[in-house]
Amino acid sequence: MYSVEDIKELLKAFDDSKATKIEIKNEKGEQLMICQQQTKPVAVDIIKTEPVYEETAVKNETVSMPESVSKTEGTPVTSPMVGVFYAAPAPDKDPYVSVGAKVNKGDVLCLIEAMKLMNEVTAEKSGEIVEICVENGQVVEYGQPLFMIR
């Protein structure tokens, strides 16, 4: 069995990382799985606010595209992680992209905040933004469509 100190040390390392799930199995076949998912949007100014995390059970689910996304022609840009979607680099700044914007491969499209870190999501191909599938400040899931590019 895992000692309380081992679990505390593991939780600290887990909390300091970008991971949202960790699974460990020891020599005796005992398994320990820890997951966390952000459940509440937080402000971009993370110095003044603390995000709320909740431990949840892991489910084997596939994220299906919303009906509006599946009717739009183009290639989806999906979220690489669970986190909070931000369309702009700061609340007082313009969004990175808008519908109709031309983008090049590698251009920053948005930010996903996960575990107090801002992660850039970039265009995987050049094209035109034909749809923005989520709202600013919305919690997004891994694999959830964020944009459609044609």
What is the model's pTM? 0.53
Listed in sequence order, the residues at least 6 apart from 142 whose beta carbon sits closer than 8 Å to its beta carbon are 20, 63, 79, 80, 81, 82
Domain check: are 74 and 111 in the same one?
A: yes
Q: What residues make up the domain containing 33?
A: 4-54
- Average the pLDDT over 123-127 and give the result: 92
Model confidence band, residue 36 (pLDDT cutoffs 50, 70, 90)? low
- Other CB atoms within 10 A of residue 8 CB: 10
Domain check: are 81 and 110 in the same one?
A: yes
**How many domains is the chain partitioned into structurally?**
2
Q: What's 80's domain CATH number?
A: 2.40.50.100
Model confidence band, residue 10 (pLDDT cutoffs 50, 70, 90)? confident
Domain check: are 94 and 145 in the same one?
A: yes
Residue with the bigger pLDDT between 74 and 21: it is 74
Q: Cα separation of 52 and 147, whole Å?
A: 26
